[in-house]
Structure 1
Amino acid sequence: MENIFINISNWTEKLILALGIPHILVSIIMSIIYFIAIVAFVLLNAMYLIYLERKFCGFLQQRLGPNRFGPRGILQSLADVVKLLGKEDIIPDKADRWVFRLASLLVMVPALLVYAVLPFGENMIAANLNLGVIYFIAISGTASVPILMAGWGSNNKYSLLGGMRVVAQMISYEIPMIFSLLGIVMLSGSLNLAEIISAQHNVWFIFLQPIAFVVYFIAATAELNRGPFDLPEGEQEIIAGPFTEYSGMRYALFYLAEYTNMFAISALIVTLFLGGASGPILPSWIWFILKTYVIILLFMLVRWTFPRFRLDHMMSLNWKYLIPISLMNVLFTGIGVKIFQLIKG
């Protein structure tokens, strides 16, 4: 069970080689297969997360949640996809058509690219980069661009306000996110995600960096535009924010990107703070999924527990509290690492 996916990959590669196909073409074909597998996993996982959140919300509010389509409503997300496929794709008359269309396609690009460096299990990483942490930060930082494009291209004041809020919020909260990761990099001495997991073989970094974990979790919630930081989509103020003018599958792509990003951020938290895919008895990839879903449920609990922030309060939380706290954490971590090195000799 531990190497089931690696074995399937090896069998597939041997089967293709047996057909007499050149090695260069085999490498290209295998890369395409890996890409299709990741996309299929991401889409199916996002659909399940949508169902899970609706069920979890129903549980918190003491109601059933989706329960009509399939056993316990498990096929509700599939029914929603079919419904959205049948909806008319409406583009406003005064919209910038190319920007409007391109935004809904580009929003999935950074959401998918970050999966390349996530170690799903032992030897289960698509691209084991030495600068994996920087790669993740750089790619995820571009996620605000398609949303701003959606707000601008819609030629709608509510959409534009929502897009501007997204950019302001994501750029602001990226700062404490990066600072909170510096402590992890100091402790592990590496920017490689696989090596960071190896550095946690004795103790998880959540116990050595609890402040960094809390700061990163709060900042990540804001980065994902989830409650209580969902100001870009504040229904009472700006309807659906940058997505106001979207319908059908174009709207669904933004929705899928949100849950795809949530899984990726949760997976990164597991990798950096919870020892990655390490664990006893069960295969490593099962441990990775279980830990990731625990973090996802925590995101969902926060969303359905706390009321939405006011815009000025949200910015004050970041600039007055999270950034100074994360900077102090970096300072004390650096001092602690230096003292440990001196003692160790």
Structure 2
Amino acid sequence: MNLIPLDVPTYTAADFTQETWWLTVLKAVFIIVFLILNVLLALWVERRTIGRMQTRPGPNVAGPFGLFQAIADAVKLLFKEDMWTRKADKFIYLLAPSISAFAAFSIFAVIPMGPNVSIFGHSTPLQLADMPVAALYVLAISSLGLYGIVLGGWSASSTLPLYGAVRSSAQVISYELSMGMSLVAVFLMAGSMSTSQIVASQAQTWWFLPLAPAFVIYLISMVGEVNRLPFDLPEAEGELVAGHMTEYSSMKFGWFYLSEYVNMFNVSAVATTMFFGGWHAPWPLSHIEFLNGGWFGILWFFIKMWFFMLLMIWTRSTLLRFRYDQFMQLGWKRLIPISLAWLVMVAIIRAITQWVSLTLPQLIGGVAGIFVIALIVMWFADSRDARKEALAQAEKQERLANFDPMADGFPVPPLPGQQLPPSPRANRVVTAAALEETND
């Protein structure tokens, strides 16, 4: 691996000089078909995987390899009764799932799935579009998709969908902050917010290694962003039936359902682009020029994207749902402060590299050392707080043990955890009975 100073970028963006309008249309159609086929594959893989992990037959026995289950579900959605609630705002009620689907399909427009290749004699990148602020476009469109959820819950004029919409808005706002700050560290290291330039900057080293804390924060935040277990609070079945989708049926429900799975591929593709080298081949295959370019880029991108998809399927089949207060506490009191502290460290180290030429191992060692020291300080602070809390609990238990129901001059019932002292009258009765047995 060649180690280079990180002061001046030595990579270029995708080349769109030979792009034509019909190539743009062709790539747009390919993205739509690619995502729909991947959603069908995801439904099949998820059900079979969860069935194996949780030892449940389920769709694994519906036809060969369980393939008939996905077909049955698609037919059910198409022919299910299309219901409309009486008090719903009809226009917004129909507009909401359209907004969610549009936002979900739009994010892949700036995701590079491969380098420049030749299509019908024209050199074009395997990417629909790119811009200097493509990463900000991804964050903006993902925020726009929230309007579909909020409007869907509000327009139904029903209690449970409204609760689900409010939960989802608070959840997305909270976890988009930590997600955005984790991506800013990548922008600082790559020196660009263009997705193709970020992928090109990982030709030597993928950013998940030197930016490991930001990578972990992004992994947690992306699960909360797409409302998946253990963070599916807007659709908690035991509390809200199906959240903002409760009053939807047929294909209106199907658009929400489709956008949820497309968003899973969106966050997986962003993770691949920002942290996992994009379409670059993994080491040591990256040293083989034939395998590290051309149409092989789509293969490596597909494998990496599905790695994150399987990770989300794994968490769904093994973890339990959080309480809402625990979920918000994790976002605001843990992820956001840690991501902000890490961002400041990366900014300081990145500024130092402008004046001092550092190799990548030295940069990783310096940042990791500072971060480990910060974690040790936080651990000691938490240990001190835990000791204080233990002492407070011990004092409370002591007060409960010394409970006197007649302390105020009149009988007071015990609180939870308190026990009444032994009754003097009961002691006298027991003593009298013992004396009678002795006399006999």
TM-score in same-fold range (> 0.5): yes
Q: Distance in 2 between matches of 1:313 and 1:301?
A: 21
Contact 2:27-2:127 at 8 Å conserved across structures: no
Structure 2 residue 82 is the aligned partner of structure 1 residue 89 = yes
Contact 1:47-1:256 at 8 Å conserved across structures: no
Report the equivalent of 2:67.
74
Per-residue CA distance 1:49-88 (angstroms, 9 max, x = gap): 1111111111110233413554211242232111211111
CA offset at residue 37 of structure 1? 2.3
SS in 1 for 2:91: helix
Per-residue CA distance 1:294-321 (angstroms, 9 max, x = gap): 1111111112221111111111111111
Unaligned runs of 5+ residues in structure 1 are 1-9, 14-25
- Alignment partner of 1:117 out of 85, 101, 110: 110
Q: Distance in 2 between matches of 1:276 and 1:30?
A: 22
Report the equivalent of 1:58.
51
| AA aligned opposite 2:156 | S
Contact 2:28-2:128 at 8 Å conserved across structures: no
CA offset at residue 116 of structure 1? 0.4
| AA aligned opposite 1:43 | I
SS in 2 for 1:322: helix
Q: TM-score, normalised by structure 2?
A: 0.70
Report the equivalent of 1:162.
164
Q: Distance in 2 between matches of 1:64 and 1:267?
A: 31
SS in 1 for 2:208: helix
Aligned-residue Cα RMSD (Å) equals 1.7
Q: Choose 1 or 2 for highest CA Rg.
A: 2
Per-residue CA distance 1:112-138 (angstroms, 9 max, x = gap): 110100011112010021111111011
Report the equivalent of 1:204.
206
| AA aligned opposite 1:174 | E
Contact 2:181-2:340 at 8 Å conserved across structures: yes
Per-residue CA distance 1:118-165 (angstroms, 9 max, x = gap): 011112010021111111011111111001111011111000000111
CA offset at residue 30 of structure 1? 4.5
Report the equivalent of 1:222.
224
Report the equivalent of 1:336.
349
- Alignment partner of 1:126 out of 118, 125, 128: 128
Q: Distance in 2 between matches of 1:338 and 1:104?
A: 45
Report the equivalent of 2:30.
37
CA offset at residue 341 of structure 1? 2.5
| AA aligned opposite 1:191 | M
Q: Distance in 2 between matches of 1:212 and 1:299?
A: 18
Unaligned runs of 5+ residues in structure 2 are 1-17, 116-124, 286-290, 359-440
Q: TM-score, normalised by structure 1?
A: 0.89
Report the equivalent of 1:314.
327
Which stretch has the larger CA shift, 273-282 or 320-329? 273-282
Report the equivalent of 2:288.
none
CA offset at residue 101 of structure 1? 1.0
Q: Distance in 1 between matches of 2:212 and 2:223?
A: 17
**Residues 258-269 of structure 1: matches in 2 within 5 Å?**
258-269=260-271
CA offset at residue 243 of structure 1? 0.5
Q: Distance in 1 between matches of 2:60 and 2:243?
A: 29
- Alignment partner of 2:317 out of 304, 326, 338: 304
Q: Distance in 1 between matches of 2:33 and 2:62?
A: 22
**Residues 16-27 of structure 1: matches in 2 within 5 Å?**
27=21
Report the equivalent of 1:193.
195
Per-residue CA distance 1:10-60 (angstroms, 9 max, x = gap): 9xx9xxxxxxxxxxxx72x54443332221211111111111111111111
Q: Distance in 2 between matches of 1:260 and 1:184?
A: 24
CA offset at residue 338 of structure 1? 2.0
Identity %: 38
SS in 1 for 2:209: helix
Q: Distance in 2 between matches of 1:35 and 1:207?
A: 33
- Alignment partner of 1:278 out of 280, 284, 287: 280
Q: Distance in 2 between matches of 1:263 and 1:183?
A: 22
SS in 2 for 1:101: helix
Q: Distance in 1 between matches of 2:27 and 2:344?
A: 41
How many residues of Structure 1 are paired with residues of Structure 2 in the alignment? 321
Report the equivalent of 1:22.
none
Q: Distance in 1 between matches of 2:149 and 2:73?
A: 22
